[in-house]
């Protein structure tokens, strides 16, 4: 490896260390912030009841973190654009963690008819739902959008260097699906009239089921541009 290459590697490695550390902190925020330390078995059981929501948040955050790991596979150099977008991803992750936890703590609390505890309760009805889904959708769209931009940047760099851009462009397509869905869900939540019947408020939530569209989008991409990784 040339000296330049080695120095580039050190810089890219430090950015990765920063991103990895910040994502690990974000998980800790879920734990520290969730509630006080249990000092009786009752409180321990209460805390254990929060595990399903913690699990969903944990793997959500890990999913976006893994997106950044996959991006590094496509773009090994330390570029200015890559650095700013990576920092932006960390920034959004630190903001995303709170609405994420509220949505799933509320969801499991509701699904279990209150048996799974939640610090957070939807007291304000429709107005609360609108706020929550709008925040969640926007944060989701920002994170997925940042990853889309990261892969787009990797594709442009690979193209300029004369390498195969197919892998990076496919990943870009994959991440654009959650970005669009998050944005659409937030818009639906903001546009639904507050007087809409209760079941309609499940609509912005069910829109995330459209994530299954990632499969067909990738298939179509592969049919059009070939199968090479």
Binding interface with a copy of itself (CB under 8 A): 7, 10-11, 13-18, 20-25, 27-29, 31-34, 36-42, 44-45, 47-48, 51, 54-55, 58-59, 62, 65-66, 69, 72-73, 76, 83, 87, 90-91, 94-95, 98-99, 102, 119-124, 127-128, 131-132, 135
Q: What is the DSSP letter of 199?
A: G
**Distance of closest approach, residue 181 Cβ to a copy of itself, in angstroms:** 21
User: Which pair of structure tokens corresponds to residue 187?
Assistant: 């818009």
In the structure, how many helices (H) and strands (E) does the chain have?
A: 8, 0
Q: Which is nearer to a copy of itself, 133 or 175 (CB)?
A: 133
**Distance of closest approach, residue 224 Cβ to a copy of itself, in angstroms:** 26
Between CA 106 and CA 8 the distance in angstroms is 45
3-state secondary structure 84-153: HHHHHHHHHHHHHHHHHHHHHHHHHHHHCCCCCCCCCCCCCCHHHHHHHHHHHHHHHHHHHHHHHHHHHH
How many residues comprise the chain?
229
**Distance of closest approach, residue 33 Cβ to a copy of itself, in angstroms:** 4
Q: Which is nearer to a copy of itself, 73 or 220 (CB)?
A: 73
Q: Which is nearer to a copy of itself, 77 or 210 (CB)?
A: 77
Q: Which is nearer to a copy of itself, 135 or 144 (CB)?
A: 135
Query: Which residue, chain included where needed, has tokens 């490695």?
Result: 13
Question: What percent of the chain is helix, strand and coil (3-state, nearest 5)?
Answer: 80, 0, 20
**Distance of closest approach, residue 137 Cβ to a copy of itself, in angstroms:** 13
**Distance of closest approach, residue 127 Cβ to a copy of itself, in angstroms:** 8
Q: Which is nearer to a copy of itself, 32 or 220 (CB)?
A: 32
**Distance of closest approach, residue 58 Cβ to a copy of itself, in angstroms:** 5
Q: Which is nearer to a copy of itself, 12 or 181 (CB)?
A: 12
Q: What is the DSSP letter of 192?
A: S
């Amino acid at each position: 490896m040339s000296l330049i290459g080695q120095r580039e590697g050190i810089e890219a490695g430090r950015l990765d260390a920063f991103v990895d550390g910040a994502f690990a902190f974000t998980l800790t925020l879920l734990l520290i912030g969730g509630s006080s330390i249990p000092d009786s078995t009752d409180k321990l059981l209460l805390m254990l009841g929060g595990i399903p929501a913690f699990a969903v948040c944990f793997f959500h955050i890990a999913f976006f973190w893994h997106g950044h790991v996959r991006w590094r596979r496509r773009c090994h150099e330390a570029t200015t654009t890559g650095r700013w977008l990576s920092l932006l991803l960390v920034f959004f992750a630190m903001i995303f963690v709170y609405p994420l936890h509220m949505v799933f703590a509320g969801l499991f609390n509701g699904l279990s008819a209150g048996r799974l505890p939640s610090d957070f309760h939807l007291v304000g009805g429709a107005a609360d739902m609108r706020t929550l889904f709008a925040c969640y959708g926007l944060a989701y769209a920002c994170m997925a959008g940042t990853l889309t931009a990261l892969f787009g940047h990797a594709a442009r760099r690979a193209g300029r260097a004369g390498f195969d851009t197919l892998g990076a462009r496919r990943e870009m397509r994959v991440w654009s699906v959650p970005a669009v869905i998050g944005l659409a869900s937030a818009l639906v939540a903001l546009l639904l009239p507050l007087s809409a019947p209760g079941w309609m408020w499940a609509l912005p939530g069910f829109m995330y089921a459209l994530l299954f569209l990632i499969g067909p989008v990738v298939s179509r991409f592969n049919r059009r541009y070939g199968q090479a990784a």
